[in-house]
């Protein structure tokens, strides 16, 4: 049965500690809900930046904050005695973090820093954005992406254990620890002084978060079809645009290997059951442009991923047959392909705002509005 104590009330958690806690919870939730869906990469990245900023604040606050927020007051060394007496009448009650909670904070902060760092490395290497943009290869960026996901899963598991521990502790000591992290108030057997509120720091944290949100997402309020990430400025060719764009989107040559474009142009009289009727000089210029900007050059993320998913013995002529393309589009419902603004799988511009530029940034994808379907 839970032990009941003579109850006094005291403010144990200062405002910055509480605001940090709940903002971190929100940042993690938004990061988790937007992972894996490239359309929400901008939200995922912002939540990651907020998450990292909060972690840095907590590390500083762990040395400069109020009594129970300081790492030096965490009872790390009492963990064994705490756990062995937890289910007995000799269980210990701690006003601040208990030993298990202290270790949970330490591990969560550590994993949080690791997941943030691997996220930045992924963003810089695989996506070519952020403070590390272009400093890391696509291969390394992809490896860091895998570690980013693995660490995030470990962190989710630890958070689940932490929540169960909070619920158990609340029951065993007959107090609502979740409410305490909202109000800052905890119960004690003795009268103690309240910790300072640090209201100005709390206000600064809230205003900084709001300013960050408004600054990061203001493009959506100012620009129609806003693209949060701008890809590299890929080289374009007027002749390529004219020859290819006459019938369909002038797919940038970075989407397929050089051998595919060479075969396509060498067999121009049977170009998907059409004859291109191009002069030899034109073919030569198109081949030169295609080879110099083909997928092997890894000009963009999609170029690198397309190229590595095509076997060396394959010479694909359709982008929609590339394994990476198939994998990325396999969850799209048939109704989307049949939409009046789409009609066929090669109509990339119907969903990708930067299709004509050839960059195909993850967050530049928008599914068509069914309400605007005129069929």
Distance of CA 98 to the CA centre of its chain: 32
| Other CB atoms within 10 Å distance of the CB of residue 326 | 12
Q: Does domain 8-217 have CATH number 3.40.50.720?
A: no
**Domain residues of the chain, as ranges?**
8-217, 238-372
Closest CA to 360 of 327, 336, 318, 328: 328
- Max intra-chain CA distance, the chain: 94
The token pair that represents 265 in the structure block:
């142009």
Q: What is the pLDDT of residue 375?
A: 47
Q: What is the pLDDT of residue 250?
A: 93
d(CA 99, CA 217): 40
Looking at the DSSP bridge assignments, the partners of residue 48 are none
Q: What is the pLDDT of residue 371?
A: 54
Q: What is the pLDDT of residue 2?
A: 47
The token pair that represents 103 in the structure block:
């270790």
Q: Are 342 and 359 in contact (CB under 8 A)?
A: no
Closest CA to 142 of 119, 125, 164: 125
Q: What is the pLDDT of residue 88?
A: 78
Q: The whole model's pTM is what?
A: 0.88
Q: Are 121 and 132 in contact (CB under 8 A)?
A: yes
- 128-to-8, 62, 361 alpha-carbon distances in Å: 55, 34, 10
d(CA 255, CA 141): 19
Q: What is the pLDDT of residue 6?
A: 47
d(CA 204, CA 333): 45
Backbone angles phi, psi at 23, to 5 degrees: -65, -35
Can you list the residues of the chain whose pLDDT is less than 50?
A: 1-2, 6, 373-375
Closest CA to 361 of 22, 10, 42, 34: 42
Q: What is the pLDDT of residue 163?
A: 92
**Run of H or E residues at 347:** none
**What percentage of the chain's residues is helix, strand, coil (to nearest 5)?**
60, 5, 35
Instruction: Name residues whose C-beta falls within 8 Å of residue 252's C-beta, 6 or more positions apart in sequence.
Output: 234, 293, 357, 358
């Amino acid at each position: 049965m839970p032990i009941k104590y003579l109850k006094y009330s005291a403010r144990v958690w200062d405002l910055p500690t509480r605001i940090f806690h709940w903002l971190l919870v929100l940042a993690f939730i938004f990061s988790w809900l937007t992972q894996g869906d490239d359309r929400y990469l901008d939200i995922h990245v912002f939540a990651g930046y907020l998450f990292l900023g909060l972690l840095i604040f907590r590390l500083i606050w762990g040395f400069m904050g109020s009594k129970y927020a300081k790492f030096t007051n965490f009872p790390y060394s009492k963990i064994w005695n705490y756990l062995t007496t937890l289910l007995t009448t000799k269980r210990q009650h701690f006003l601040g973090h208990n030993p298990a909670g202290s270790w949970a904070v330490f591990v969560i902060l550590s994993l949080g820093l690791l997941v943030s760092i691997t996220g930045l490395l992924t963003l810089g290497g695989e996506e070519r954005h952020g403070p590390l943009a272009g400093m890391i290869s696509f291969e390394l960026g992809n490896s860091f992406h895998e570690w980013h996901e693995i660490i995030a899963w470990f962190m989710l598991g630890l958070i689940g254990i932490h929540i169960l521990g909070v619920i158990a502790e609340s029951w065993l000591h007959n107090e609502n620890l979740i409410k305490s992290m909202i109000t800052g108030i905890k119960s004690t057997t003795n009268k103690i002084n309240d910790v300072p509120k640090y209201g100005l720091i709390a206000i600064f944290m809230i205003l900084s978060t709001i300013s960050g949100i408004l600054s990061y997402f203001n493009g959506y309020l100012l620009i129609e079809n806003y693209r949060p990430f701008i890809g590299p400025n890929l080289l374009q060719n007027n002749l390529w645009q004219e020859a290819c764009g006459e019938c369909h989107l002038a797919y940038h040559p970075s989407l397929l290997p050089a051998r595919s474009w060479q075969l396509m142009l060498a067999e121009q009289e049977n170009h998907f059951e059409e004859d291109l009727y191009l002069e030899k000089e034109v073919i030569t210029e198109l081949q030169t442009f295609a080879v110099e900007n083909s997928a092997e050059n890894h000009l963009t993320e999609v170029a690198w991923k397309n190229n590595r998913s095509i076997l060396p013995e394959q010479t694909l002529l359709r982008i929609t047959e590339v394994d990476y393309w198939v994998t990325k589009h396999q969850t799209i419902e048939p109704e989307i392909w049949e939409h009046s603004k789409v009609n066929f799988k090669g109509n990339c511009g119907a969903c990708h705002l930067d299709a004509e530029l050839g960059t195909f940034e993850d967050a530049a994808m928008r599914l068509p509005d069914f309400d605007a379907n005129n069929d």
